[in-house]
Amino acid sequence: MIVVPCPWCGDRNSMEFRAAGESKKRPDVNTATPEQWRTYLYTKSNLADWVTETWYHRAGCRRYFAIERHTVTNEIRTSRLPAAQIRLDESKGS
Amino acid sequence: MDRQVNETSVPSNTRPGKSTAKYPAKYSAFSLIKHGLAKSDWPRAWREHDLKKTYDVVIIGAGIHGLATAYYLATNHGITNIAIVDKGYVGGGGSGRNTSIVRSNYLTPEGVRFYNRSVHLYQDLSADLNFNIMFGQMGHLTLAHNDSSLRTMRWRAEVNKLEGIDSEVIGPDDIKQIVPYMDTSTNTRYPIVGALFHPPGGTVRHDAVNWGYARGADVRGCEIHQNTEVLGITTIGDEVTGVTTNRGQISTKIVVNCTAGWASLINAMVGLKMPIVTHPLQAAVTEPVKKFLNTVVVSGSLHVYVSQTDRGELVFGASTDPYASYSMRGSLEFTEELAGHVLELIPSIAKMRVLRQWAGLCDMTPDFSPIMGFTPVKGYVVDVGWGTYGFKAGPVSGEAMAQLIATQRVPDIISTFDFARFAEGRLVGEKGAAAVGH
């Protein structure tokens, strides 16, 4: 069992959530080439390490947020930021 | 041991395999009696070697896929200078953790042809390997609990029949005859409305397949290196030159990735990213009871599959855990959910106790089909993306990958499973896979 710290609802059982997968920056739909778009859609890093992921609290607040999780130990080092916020930060940084 | 395997797939320009059947001794009824009377130890089934500096082929992963690839390279193509390296032990990954179900009633024609070849190879495997793999073709039932899954069953049955495979949709009364303990009444939350019945399906003893292939590859001159972890793959330009392991450097022109759940980590060593996400898949086994379940029972809607081993234990599997992970720990949620679903199907086993549970790693692809063949890195070939269907595909994958490596051409049977399909938009969409809920 994983206990997922939801930024709004607190520590909850992972069964209440949907793991939406690795957080990735979505390419600009107007300028992305098919190659970039397919890379965004399909390829995964699938690391055995700390990863930043998007989770959705479907049986709770029904909001998306980002967590940092170690995929070997399932330990969670939360960033407690919504995924949209991370994307915003990334776009400012890039 | 000397029997030529599957003559049809052997290209005419290859030599038949050399056989040195003297070591280890061939298994037979006579050797069983001899060892039984003398109470002497059996010789080890495969040898240990020092790591050489150079190999023709280095296969990463000593599971069923890696070992079968080596075995068929040796038997069908005469290539024996092969190292099979594994960071753990033979069959310690998915090959020893699956629920050992074999079937070919898939949905796509390419999937059906592929898995059917595997069923045929499994049928002859005990004789080919001189190792009893205990293939019981007890029949395979996939239950439908609603109209849409029954529709998928009908679709699958028609595709199967066109490919010449024994597969048909049956109703609740027939199901009750095949599995008398099944609750086929309509007084349940998910009543059973029908099933896809596949008589050639069944189970195999998975460890025996690993050991049989390991022994068969070893006796033909391939080297199995356990506890040999690959730390890196060396390349010059876009070409593979060797492998760095914790026991030293090996130079080779061909590296085969047969690491299933860990495939992405090996791919990263040559800078490749693939559409693979590693999910744990849990399974459990009960205490043994007298044989009462004579078929494999699968329910996609309830996410459960059950079979009874020759020892009498019930083996359960379910769908993959709902998040990516390399952790192989079991969870209580799994056992609870599994118990609920199994009791929905067979209420009379409520008092049976679960002996143990475990997890294996599944390298899931978006279309539930494997990724096999060449990659943009020359000499680096993959046999990955095996998700929840790697065990049943072991023999055919080994055979096809061996042909691909020996002839440097992609065999027809795996041509649609290439890595380029994602870039070119040719996904296979295998909705007959066990992980797909209907």
Q: What tens digit of pLDDT does each residue of B263-294 get?
A: 999 999 999 999 999 999 999 999 999 999 99
Residue B122 CA to its chain's centroid (Å) = 11
- With vertex at residue B413, the alpha carbon angle to CA B409 and CA B415, rounded to the nearest 5 degrees, is 55
How far is residue B312's CA from residue B411's CA, in Å, rounded to a whole number? 40
- Percent of chain A scored above 90 by pLDDT? 38
Handedness of CA B159, B156, B6, B137 (dihedral sign): negative
Residue of B21 and B149 predicted with greater confidence:
B149
Q: Which of B17-26, B122-131, B234-243, B341-350 is predicted least confidently?
A: B17-26
Contact across the interface for B422 and A38, Cβ inside 8 Å: yes
Identify all chain B residues contacting A2, using CB atoms and an 8 Å cutoff: 323
Q: What are phi and psi of B308, to 5 degrees?
A: -110, 130
Q: Do B101 and B166 lie in a common domain?
A: no
> Would B8 be classed as within a structural domain?
no
* Number of domains forming the structure of chain B: 2
pLDDT at B345: 93
Mean pLDDT calculated for residue range B188-197: 94
Residue of B nearest to A18 (CA): B322
Which neighbouring-strand residues pair with B324? none
pLDDT at B9: 40
pLDDT at A7: 86
> Would B345 be classed as within a structural domain?
yes
Is the pLDDT assigned to residue B310 strictly greater than 60? yes
Which of A1, A3, A19, A6 is closest to A79 using CA atoms? A6
> Would B305 be classed as within a structural domain?
yes
How far is residue B297's CA from residue B289's CA, in Å, rounded to a whole number? 17
Structure token pair of residue B155? 């679709």
Residue B262 in contact with partner chain A when CB distance is under 8 A: yes
Contact across the interface for A44 and B323, Cβ inside 8 Å: no
In sequence order, the 6+-apart residues with CB closer than 8 A to the CB of A36 are A27
Handedness of CA B104, B109, B111, B115 (dihedral sign): positive
- Percent of chain B scored above 90 by pLDDT? 80
Task: Return the exposure string of B410-427: e unless at least 16 CB atoms fall within 10 Å of the residue's CB, then b.
Answer: bbebbebbbbebbeeeeb
Place of tokens 């592929």: B114
Q: For chain A, how many residues are written?
A: 94
pTM listed for this prediction: 0.90
Which of B66, B68, B82, B72 is closest to B5 using CA atoms? B72
Identify all chain B residues contacting A38, using CB atoms and an 8 Å cutoff: 422-423, 425
Q: Do B54 and B195 lie in a common domain?
A: no
Mean pLDDT calculated for residue range B77-106: 95
Query: pLDDT band for position A92 (50/70/90)?
Result: low
Contact across the interface for A48 and B262, Cβ inside 8 Å: yes
> Would B241 be classed as within a structural domain?
yes
Chain A nearest C-alpha distance from B205 (Å): 29
Query: What's chain B's average pLDDT?
Result: 90
Mean pLDDT calculated for residue range B41-47: 86
pLDDT at B223: 97
Contact across the interface for B327 and A71, Cβ inside 8 Å: yes
Q: Do B196 and B171 lie in a common domain?
A: yes
Query: Which amino acid, one-letter code, is at B2?
Result: D
pLDDT at B194: 96
A15 closest CB neighbour out of B273, B333, B366: B333
> Would B332 be classed as within a structural domain?
yes
Residue A28 in contact with partner chain B when CB distance is under 8 A: no
pLDDT at B433: 67
CATH of the domain at B414: 3.50.50.60
CATH of the domain at B178: 3.30.9.10
- Percent of chain B scored above 70 by pLDDT? 92
**pLDDT tens by residue, B140-177:** 999 999 999 999 999 999 999 999 999 999 999 999 99
Q: Give whichever of A39-48, B11-20, B179-188, B375-384 has the largest mean pLDDT.
A: B375-384
B422 closest CB neighbour out of A22, A42, A45: A42
Residue A35 in contact with partner chain B when CB distance is under 8 A: yes
Q: Do B360 and B281 lie in a common domain?
A: yes
Query: pLDDT band for position B19 (50/70/90)?
Result: very low
Query: Which amino acid, one-letter code, is at B351?
Result: K
Q: Do B223 and B338 lie in a common domain?
A: no
Q: Which of B26-35, B177-186, B229-238 is predicted least confidently?
A: B26-35
Mutate to test the interface with B, among A46, A51, A53, A75 (most CBs of B within 10 A): A46
Query: pLDDT band for position B43 (50/70/90)?
Result: confident
pLDDT at B158: 96
* Assigned CATH topology for domain A3-93: Folate-binding fold (3.30.2270)
A46 closest CB neighbour out of B278, B327, B423: B278
Q: Do B309 and B347 lie in a common domain?
A: yes
Task: Return the exposure string of B310-324: e unless at least 16 CB atoms fall within 10 Å of the residue's CB, then b.
Answer: eeebbbbbbbbbebb
Q: Domain containing B179: what range?
A: 140-200+277-364
Mean pLDDT calculated for residue range B74-81: 96
Residue of B272 and B26 predicted with greater confidence:
B272
Which of B317, B336, B364 is where one domain is finished?
B364
pLDDT at B3: 42
**pLDDT tens by residue, A35-84:** 888 888 899 999 999 998 999 999 999 988 889 999 999 999 876 666 55
Q: Do B283 and B358 lie in a common domain?
A: yes
Contact across the interface for B278 and A71, Cβ inside 8 Å: yes
Which of B329, B364, B399 is where one domain is finished?
B364
> Would B251 be classed as within a structural domain?
yes
Residue of B94 and A90 predicted with greater confidence:
B94
Q: Do B220 and B171 lie in a common domain?
A: no
Q: Where are the domains of chain A?
A: 3-93
Structure token pair of residue B154? 């009908």
In sequence order, the 6+-apart residues with CB closer than 8 A to the CB of B222 are B70, B71, B73, B74, B80, B82, B83, B84
Is the pLDDT assigned to residue A34 strictly greater than 70? yes
Handedness of CA B26, B29, B30, B34 (dihedral sign): positive
Residue A46 in contact with partner chain B when CB distance is under 8 A: yes
**pLDDT tens by residue, B193-204:** 999 999 999 999
> Would B4 be classed as within a structural domain?
no
Mean pLDDT calculated for residue range A16-21: 92
Identify all chain B residues contacting A39, using CB atoms and an 8 Å cutoff: 273
pLDDT at B30: 86
Contact B369, B393 (CB under 8 A): no
Query: pLDDT band for position B17 (50/70/90)?
Result: very low
Residue of B nearest to A35 (CA): B423
Mutate to test the interface with A, among B325, B328, B361 (most CBs of A within 10 A): B325
Classified as helix, coil or strand, B304 is strand
Q: Do B49 and B121 lie in a common domain?
A: yes
Q: Do B181 and B298 lie in a common domain?
A: yes
Which of B338, B364, B390 is where one domain is finished?
B364
Which neighbouring-strand residues pair with B84? B59, B224
B331 closest CB neighbour out of A1, A51, A72: A1
Is the pLDDT assigned to residue B88 strictly greater than 60? yes
Q: For chain B, how many residues are written?
A: 438
Is the pLDDT assigned to residue B386 strictly greater than 80? yes
pLDDT at B426: 86
In sequence order, the 6+-apart residues with CB closer than 8 A to the CB of B278 are A46, A48, A71, B261, B262, B263, B264, B324, B325, B326, B361, B362, B363, B364
Is the pLDDT assigned to residue B331 strictly greater than 80? yes
Q: Do B162 and B125 lie in a common domain?
A: no
> Would B301 be classed as within a structural domain?
yes
Q: Do B283 and B336 lie in a common domain?
A: yes
